[in-house]
Amino acid sequence: MTNKTYYLLVLIFVFSSRAFSATILIQDNDDPGEGFKDPTDATSISAQAGNNPGATLGELRLNVFKEAAKVLGEAIKSNVTIKVGATFDPLACTASSGTLGQAGATASIANSVGTTPDTAYVIALGESLAGSNINGSSVEINAIFNSDVDASDDCLGSGGFYYGLDGNAPAGMAALFAVVLHELSHGLGFSSLSDTSPAGSGGFIGAGGFPDSFSRNLYDQGTGKSWHEMANMERKASAVNEPKLVWKGAKVTTSRRMHLGPAPEFVINLPAAIAGNYTTVLGEEPSIVIPAEGVTAGVIDGNTFVDINDQPADGCSQIGFGGNFTGKIVMFDKSPGCGAAFPAFFSEFEGALAVIIVATTASGLPDVSG
């Protein structure tokens, strides 16, 4: 998941440079009484509904998907309707971490009309380039979103999804609209068709085993190679080589100065033995803004505290009350028990100015997604 921020940046760049249109159709694949057909009265969950006009939970969900489809449809070009098969079903989730949703292309094609030879394209992009329907009545994208986020008290603190379309999600809720935009974009082609998981082969798994259109624009500044130029094991290593894995598409490169500021720096002033500038990566929460003068404060080790249950703190649960972190930068070891959003949230609650997540990785930087 280390590439999520990267995908979103690509979307911002591409969307800002073009104004086309496409029709994206949401196909409700839920059974009666669940998911998009859930009859729960929206007035009973008004905090989650926000400015969404849906009368039931199912309608709230469908409205979010339709609005996301509209936004994406206005940003891309295709004369072929892009069909999305969507459901709400339970996905992996605990009180401190979980999957909000997932989406991907149902197929890929290569060497069709309008495409670069020996290159795999997700089906929606391939059809756009070809200008014709290639997969008949089949959907181009499958999407599954986690129904337990609303239904289970043991899933991410039971705050539920926020279904408003105004970007004002209350604390403790996950804004569904942003997540749907993100996940559907993977299905449109903002993802690599390569097996770079820890146990994967590193090879390409799209049509014909060819490099895919997305991977051809992934470039590793450490090796000086694009992904289609790498051996399989090089590609696996590059997948976690953050921040040196970058996008090299011509339009993105040309437009980057309109969207990107200076790279963040992590500076240790004292003690002298470890003073210096260090490579770092910001958490991907879009609201993170570093002031021009930076953030400077003393650092305290969060792992030396206890949580409200008198257990050693790992950042995955609330720290004991008392404003222990007020005006400080808090450092936590990366915990296998939760994502980086949790120590950030709980530390901010206790008055911290910033949080540092520390981990030792084989290459690249720790994942601070979420």
Cα–Cα distance list, 340 to 28, 109, 126, 154, 212 (Å): 33, 37, 36, 18, 31
pLDDT attached to residue 323: 77
The DSSP-derived string for 331-353 is: EEEPPTTS-THHHHHHHHHTT-S
In this predicted structure, the answer to whether residue 101 has a pLDDT above a threshold of 60 is yes
Q: Is 243 a residue whose pLDDT tops 90?
A: no
User: Burial, 263: exposed, middle or buried (Cβ in 10 Å; 0-12, 13-18, 19+)?
Assistant: exposed
Percent of the chain with pLDDT over 70: 92
Q: Is 156 helix (H, G, I), strand (E, B) or coil?
A: helix
**What's the angle, vertex CA 283, arms to CA 280 and CA 286, rounded to 5?**
130
Q: CA-CA distances (angstroms) from residue 197 to 180, 201, 210, 216, 284?
A: 23, 8, 18, 18, 21
257-313 pLDDT tens trace? 888 777 788 899 999 999 999 878 777 665 567 788 889 999 999 999 998 888 999
Q: Which residue has the higher pLDDT, 364 or 312?
A: 312
Q: What is the CA radius of gyration of the chain?
A: 22
Task: Evaluate the CA torsion angle 214, 12, 340, 363 in order and state its sign.
Answer: positive
Q: Among 113-122, 213-222, 243-252, which is the least confidently predicted range?
A: 243-252
Which range among 88-102, 107-121, 194-208 shows the weakest confidence by mean pLDDT? Answer: 88-102
pLDDT at 16: 41
Confidence of residue 172 (pLDDT cuts 50, 70, 90): confident
Q: What is the pTM for the complete model shown?
A: 0.77
Q: DSSP character for 359?
A: -
Q: What sections of 152-197 are H helices per DSSP?
A: 176-188
AA identity, residue 136: G
Would you state the structure tokens that stand for residue 5, as one six-digit string? 């921020």
Percent of the chain clearing pLDDT 90 (strictly above): 68
What does the alpha-carbon distance between residue 237 and residue 239 come to, in Å, rounded to a whole number? Answer: 5
What's the mean per-residue pLDDT of the chain? 89
From the list 367, 341, 362, 357, the residue with the least C-alpha distance to 157 is 341
Minimum mean pLDDT range among 88-92, 231-235, 340-344 = 340-344
pLDDT band for position 17 (cuts 50, 70, 90): very low
Residues 6+ apart with CB under 8 A from 126: 108, 109, 112, 115, 134
